[in-house]
Amino acid sequence: MATNAVPPVLPIAPGNWLGMIGGGQLGRMFCQAAQSMGYKVAVLDPIERCPAGAVADLHIQTAYDDQAGLARLSERCAAISTEFENVPALSLQKLAAHSRVSPAAEAVAIVQDRILEKAFIGKMGVPLAPYAAIHGRDDIERAPSTLFPGILKAARFGYDGKGQARIASREQALEAFDSFGGAACVLEALMPLESEFSVVLARGFDGRAVTYPCARNEHHDGILAVSTVATEFSAAEAALHRQAGQAALNIAQGLGYYGVLCVEFFVLRDGALVANEIAPRPHNSGHYTMDACVTSQFEQQVRVMAGLPLGSTDSLCPALMLNILGDVWFDPATGEKREPDWSAVLRTPNAKLHLYGKQEARRGRKMGHINLVAPTLSAARDAAAAVAGALHMPFSL
């Protein structure tokens, strides 16, 4: 889908520098996409051997709020983006004084706080699970009984299931709140879920927006495990996807958002759609676009930053994405650490391996992903099952 355009910003030609705050795997894949298009990339991250810093043309090793480091990045780069939502909004404001910054500090400030995010989504008229903002123990005491059982989520700095606790009662909610150090939270009612899926979109500075085919997501222990993308849908599924795509576009427009954005949705057992959360960046569930779409989400991020036309989001074939966690580096029989058998993985010819260059494999740590592309979704699932078997990963769909 696309919106009517407004006058575009001046394009930044290949050969110039683009900047990235954050040195994780999303920054790494952005670097690789930008470099393939002829750009040079500077990454600002405090970690010496970070995934993006290893492939960037320049790694500025400073804290995200270091004034000298931010000045170096802004002096070098005509446009700057971020790979994670917890970058200090003040840093983005400072960078915007001299460089094109996307997404803007104002949009990130809303999305990085779950309380502000929930209020904003509701303001956009997008349905949400019932929730309450929790600033203190009194808010839990006053919370409606309909929010129990529920999930207590820290308002800031939570990801991959961290900073979250399932609670069955008011008493458990109080205990979880104390375990979070009394930090602000949101308390959400547990809903009867049928499925989860996400919408990834890109919106340019000219106001045009494009959306990718929806990915159906399966999580294990709060971490995305599998994303499945079909090319054919039932009438009901297609209607839900259109509804979600429009909701995501409304959110992006309401935020004044420019860049790549993901909105996660729940489908309830009665068929209703509710929004879960916003990610102001490329998303794990969009990794399939690297091998199954005309334009990947990371190339799209480059195009937005550089003021270039957006690419096609057409899906070339059905796809399935498997997350690779550090667990696969540990022998399932002995628990001893060893290198996974990548040859066994790649005996599946339609498996596309993407490793993030992280120095240490740890259980629960995202180390890479594998995209399985095939003429049919059934064939992609069969290929995923073979790959999962080679890695001794649980897999069932």
What is the per-residue pLDDT across 98-111, written as a single tens digit (0 to 9) for each? 999 999 999 999 99
Q: Is 276 annotated as a binding residue?
A: yes
Per-residue pLDDT tens for 46-68?
Answer: 999 999 999 999 999 999 999 99
Q: Distance between the two ends of the chain, CA-based, in angstroms? A: 30
Is 297 known to sit in a ligand binding site?
A: no
- Quickly list DSSP for 98-121: TSEESS-HHHHHHHTSHHHHHHHH
Q: To the nearest whole percent, how much of the chain has pLDDT over 70?
A: 96
Helix (H) or strand (E) holding 241: helix 235-255
Our CA dihedral for 235, 240, 241, 246, rounded to 10 degrees, sits at 130
Q: Which amino acid is at 357?
A: G
pLDDT of 5 > 50? The answer is no
Helix or strand run (H / E) with residue 268: strand 259-268
> What's phi and psi for 230, nearest 5 deg?
-95, 170
241 vs 239: CA distance, rounded Å: 5
| pLDDT over 70 at 92, yes or no | yes
Q: Is 204 annotated as a binding residue?
A: no
User: Is 162 annotated to bind ligand?
Assistant: yes
Q: 380: closest CA among 293, 322, 319, 290?
A: 319
In the structure encoding, which two tokens stand for residue 60, read together? 């500025």
Helix pair 67-76, 89-96: axis angle to 10 deg: 40
Q: What pLDDT is attached to residue 395?
A: 79
Q: For residue 116, what are the β-bridge partners? A: none
Averaged confidence pLDDT in the chain: 94
Mean pLDDT value across residues 150-170:
85
**114 known member of a binding site:** yes
Whole-model pTM over 0.85: yes
pLDDT of residue 221: 85
Judge whether 219 is annotated as a binding position: yes
Q: Is the pLDDT confidence value at 185 over 60?
A: yes
Greatest pairwise CA separation for the chain in angstroms: 61
Contact 350, 373 (CB under 8 A): yes
Please tell me whether 40 is known to bind a ligand: no
DSSP for 299-368, written as a single string: HHHHHHHHTPPPPP--B-S-EEEEEEEGGGGB-TTT--B----HHHHHTSTTEEEEE---S---TT-EEE
* Cβ atoms 89, 108 nearer than 8 A: yes
Q: Which residues contact 349 (CB under 8 A, 6 or more apart)?
A: none
What is the distance between the alpha carbons of residues 64 and 86, in angstroms, rounded to a whole number?
10
Which carries the bigger pLDDT value, residue 70 or residue 158?
A: 70
To the question of whether residue 358 is assigned a binding role by annotation, the answer is: no
260-297 pLDDT per residue, tens? 999 999 999 999 999 999 999 999 999 999 999 999 99
Give the residue-averaged pLDDT of 125-149. 96
Q: Which helix (H) or strand (E) holds 150?
A: strand 150-154
Residue 369 has phi, psi (to 5 degrees) of -150, 160
Count of C-beta atoms within a 10 Å radius of residue 46: 14
Q: What is the pLDDT of residue 305?
A: 97
For the chain, helix (H) and strand (E) counts, in that order, are 13, 18
Per-residue pLDDT at 159 exceeds 70: no
Backbone angles phi, psi at 231, to 5 degrees: -115, -10
pLDDT number for residue 161: 56
229 - beta bridge partners?
319
CB contact at 8 A, 316 and 293? yes
* Residue 71 scores a pLDDT above 80: yes
d(C-alpha 96, C-alpha 71), whole Å: 11
What distance in Å separates the CA atoms of residue 173 and residue 118, rounded to the nearest whole number?
Answer: 19
How do strand 79-82 and strand 100-101 relate by DSSP bridges? Answer: parallel
Please, what are the domains in the chain? 17-103 (3.40.50.20), 130-189 (3.30.1490.20), 193-391 (3.30.470.20)
Q: DSSP assignment, residue 68? A: H
Q: Is 217 assigned a ligand-binding role in the annotation? A: no
